[in-house]
Amino acid sequence: MATGLSKTKWNGKNLHPISENIFDIHLTYPGKRSEEDILATQPTSTSLLWRGNEGNKKTITNRLYYGDNLPILASLLEDSSICGKVRLIYIDPPFATNSVFQSRSQDDAYADTLVGASYIEFLRERLVLLRELLAHDGSIYVHLDQKMAFHIKIIMDEIFGRNNFQSWITRKKCNPKNYTRKSYGNISDYILFYTKSSSYVWNRPHEQWSIERAEKEYPYVEQETGRRYKKVPIHAPGTRNGETGKPWRGKLPPPGKHWQFPPQTLDEMDARGEIYWSPNGNPRRKIYLDESEGVAVQDIWVDFRDAHNQNIEITGYPTEKNPGLLARIIAASSNPGDFVLDCFSGSGTTLAVASQLNRQWIGIDNSVEAITTTLRRFAKGTEPMGDFVSKPSFLAENGTTRGPAELSLWEQLEQEQTEQNNAIMQKERKVIRDFSLYAVDAVREDLCDVLKQWLEWI
């Protein structure tokens, strides 16, 4: 694999000149509106249907809206307490499947019938408004599948700026498929992670070390202390003319490199026993396992399959996402007290997890079934999957947990994820009342029966 060289290191000839607009790529399609036109979207009028009083709080900041999210987002742009103050946006919009989705009780949940240019513009209009709602140090995660992710990547480059693209996350969404199709099994979808600027909230997520991985990554044990460690170079690429480019213990850094620390600091590290000297006198730095926060999360996530593919409790809403997935995103890109927004809130997973993690939240959905499911979740939590549940592979036939030595790596991962999800679900059992329920005036009557149910549930 070619790793590439900096253009300042290239000694060859005939380099093609680099245009300043080389990355100025736009997607063109019929019906594409100007940003000015989108930002002029008329706000909608909403009515307050119910207001919580959890803990007798004077100010209820959490909001759940029923209605078309475009004019509701336009309304939020006029709210000085929200506009420019949302720290994190996560959306799981329709995937352009040209299908109608039903809940587990066979009620129509939502229609995903927009495709092609109509779908792209539908999502683009909302992304333009969402950008304005984001704080300067805010982030947005957009969950898509292979049908439209590549188109929307170009659209998000346009809206948020190519330099603010942070990650393309690949998620394993389900178990392997065994049907006979002339293709590879489709078990993944994607999350596009962008920020509003180069300065953004980031709490790096880590996974716990497994014994097997820790022993492989940190193969040495310090005889004096019993601490496990690994050896890493004490130099870094690039020449320096200051202290880090000078000799240390009679040695210069390798050609084209410099010491990671000034010689005085290296002396202090060596005095503490943190430098390993090889038999031929080459220094290496000791990195200790007990000082590690864990394994830094990468951009392939295999441990957050859809709720219907996990041994966890669910609401029964179609396309419901794993609460552990939302917990990772919310913890990584926001802090307690921050606003989290989901304008395709569906079954309310984002809102429930945000509440558990002490974030403020705003949810929007135009499906009566989605609002009903969310309110039921707030009142009663989630429920066992019943006939959807299969016995986890880490359990023995009698229902007891098999010992670690008996489990494969995948079974260990399944056990860890199930335990994490169950912990999240236990927290979710607390009734959520600290929010206000709004509906667009034109459709507020749709929620009459839903509101009656909510009042009975609480």
Three-state secondary structure string covering 397-427: CCCCECCHHHCCHHHHHHHHHHHHHHHHHHH
Phi-psi region of 93 (alpha: psi -120 to 50; beta: other; left: phi over 0): beta
If you average pLDDT over residues 183-206, what whole number do you get? Answer: 94
Higher pLDDT, 237 or 412: 237
- Predicted local distance difference test score (pLDDT) of residue 56: 53
User: What's the average model confidence in pLDDT over 359-380?
Assistant: 95
pLDDT value at 414 more than 80: no
Q: Which residues of 135-153 are buried (b: 16+ CB within 10 A; e: fewer)?
A: bebbbbbbbbeeebbebbb
**How confident is the model over 53-82, as a mean pLDDT?**
88
For the chain, the average pLDDT equals: 85
* Alpha carbons within 13 A on the beta-carbon side of 289: 21
Write down the pLDDT at residue 53: 73
Residue 422 has pLDDT above 70, yes or no: no
Could you report the per-residue pLDDT of 261-311, keeping only the tens digit for each? 999 999 999 999 999 999 988 999 999 999 998 989 999 999 888 866 555
CA distance 90 to 132: 15
Tell me the percentage of the chain whose pLDDT exceeds 70: 76
72 with 280: CB under 8 angstroms?
A: no
- Tracing tokens 């690039």 back to the chain, one arrives at 238
What φ, ψ does residue 108 adopt, rounded to 5°? -65, 125
Radius of gyration of the chain (CA): 26
Please say if the pLDDT value at position 354 is more than 50: yes
Residue 413 — very low, low, confident or very high, per pLDDT cuts 50/70/90? low
State the Cα torsion 190-196-199-204 to the nearest 10°. -20
- Confidence tier at 80 by pLDDT (50, 70, 90): very high
Question: Higher model confidence: residue 207 or residue 177?
Answer: 207
Position 208 scores a pLDDT of 86
Q: 10 Å Cβ neighbour count for 296? A: 10
- What the block records as the tokens of 183 is 């293709």
Cα–Cα nearest to 260, from 280, 283, 281: 283
Residue-wise pLDDT for 98-140, tens only, equals 555 445 554 555 455 677 899 999 999 999 999 999 999 999 9
- Residue 116's region, left for phi above 0, alpha for psi from -120 to 50, else beta, is left
Question: Where do the structural domains in the chain lie, given as residue ranges?
Answer: 35-205+297-457, 211-291
Could you give the angle at the alpha carbon of 177 between the alpha carbons of 171 and 180, nearest 5°? 140
Q: Are 335 and 203 in contact (CB under 8 A)?
A: yes
Tell me what percent of the residues of the chain surpass a pLDDT of 90: 64
**For position 105, what pLDDT does the model report?**
54
pLDDT of 91 strictly over 50: yes
Which residue in this structure is represented by tokens 């310090």?
Answer: 222
Report helix, strand or coil for 246.
coil
Query: What integer is the mean pLDDT of 179-206?
Result: 91
β-strand partners of 195? 139
Q: In the predicted model, is pLDDT for residue 23 greater than 90?
A: no
Class of the CATH-defined domain 35-205+297-457:
alpha beta
Residues 143 and 191: beta-carbon distance below 8 Å: yes
H/E run at residue 264: helix 263-271
C-alpha to C-alpha distance for 307 and 328, rounded to whole angstroms: 15
- Burial label for 398, CB within 10 Å (0-12, 13-18, 19+), is exposed
